[in-house]
Amino acid sequence: MARKTFFCIDAHTCGNPVRLVAGGGPELHGANMSEKRQHFLREYDWIRKGLMFEPRGHDMMSGSILYPPQDPANDVAVLYIETSGCLPMCGHGTIGTVTIALEEGLITPKVPGQLRLETPAGLVLVSYRQEGQKIKSVKLTNIPAYLDSENLAVECPELGPLRVDVAYGGNFYAIVDPQENFQGLQAYPADKLISWSRVLRQLLNEQYTFVHPENPTIQGLSHILWAGDPLDPSSTARNAVFYGDKAIDRSPCGTGTSARMAQWYAKGKLKPGQEFIHESIIGSIFKGTIEEETTVAGRPAIRPGIEGWAIITGHNTIFFDDEDPYVHGFQV
Q: Is 255 in the site for ligand PYC (CB under 6 A)?
A: yes
Measured from the CB atom, is 69 or 256 closer to ligand PYC?
256
**160-168, 183-191, 192-200, 249-257 -> range binding ligand PYC (CB under 6 A):** 249-257
Q: For 77, phi and psi rounded to 5 degrees? A: -120, 145
CB 198: neighbour CB atoms within 10 A? 15
Distance CA 80, CA 119 (A): 8
- Report angle CA 299, 301, 305 to the nearest 5 degrees: 170
**Minimum CB–partner distance for residue 62 and ligand PYC (Å):** 6
Task: Check if the beta carbon of residue 236 is closer than 8 Å to that of residue 101.
Answer: no
Residue type, 6: F
* Stretch of 17-25, 107-115, 184-192, 247-255 contacting ligand PYC, by CB under 6 A: 247-255
Q: Specify the DSSP class assigned to residue 187.
A: G
CB of 286 to ligand PYC, least distance (A): 8
The answer to whether 128 touches 135, Cβ cutoff 8 Å, is yes
Supply the minimum distance, in Å, between the C-beta of residue 239 and ligand PYC: 11
Q: Kindly tell me which residue out of 98, 174, 218, 253 binds ligand PYC, with binding defined by CB under 6 A.
A: 253
Alpha helices in the chain (DSSP H): 33-43, 45-52, 91-103, 190-207, 254-266
What is the identity of the amino acid at 156?
A: C
Q: Which is nearer to ligand PYC, 64 or 251 (CB)?
A: 251
Question: Looking at beta carbons only, is 33 or 90 nearer to ligand PYC?
Answer: 90
Name the catalytic one among 8, 14, 86, 253: 253
| 253 catalytic residue (yes or no) | yes
Nearer to ligand PYC, 76 or 142 (CB): 142
Rounded to an integer, what distance in angstroms lies between the CA atom of residue 325 and that of residue 318?
Answer: 15
Nearer to ligand PYC, 174 or 320 (CB): 174
Least Cβ distance, residue 168 to ligand PYC (angstroms)? 12
Contacts of 243 (CB under 8 A, 6+ apart): 82, 83, 84, 222, 223, 249
Distance CA 97, CA 178 (A): 33
The CB-of-2 to ligand PYC minimum distance in angstroms stands at: 33
Q: Which 60-119 residues touch ligand PYC, going by CB under 6 A?
A: 62, 90-92
- Active site annotation includes 156: no
Q: Does 239 bind ligand PYC (CB under 6 A)?
A: no
Establish if 249 lies at the interface with ligand PYC (CB under 6 A): yes
DSSP alpha helix (H) spans, 132-273: 190-207, 254-266
For every residue of 278-294, DSSP letters joined together read EE-TTS-EEEEEEEEEE
Among residues 17, 25, 120, 254, which is the contact residue for ligand PYC, using CB under 6 A? 254
How many amino acids of this chain bind ligand PYC (CB under 6 A)? 11
Q: Which residues bind ligand PYC (CB under 6 A)?
A: 62, 90-92, 243, 249, 251, 253-256
Report the catalytic residues: 90, 253
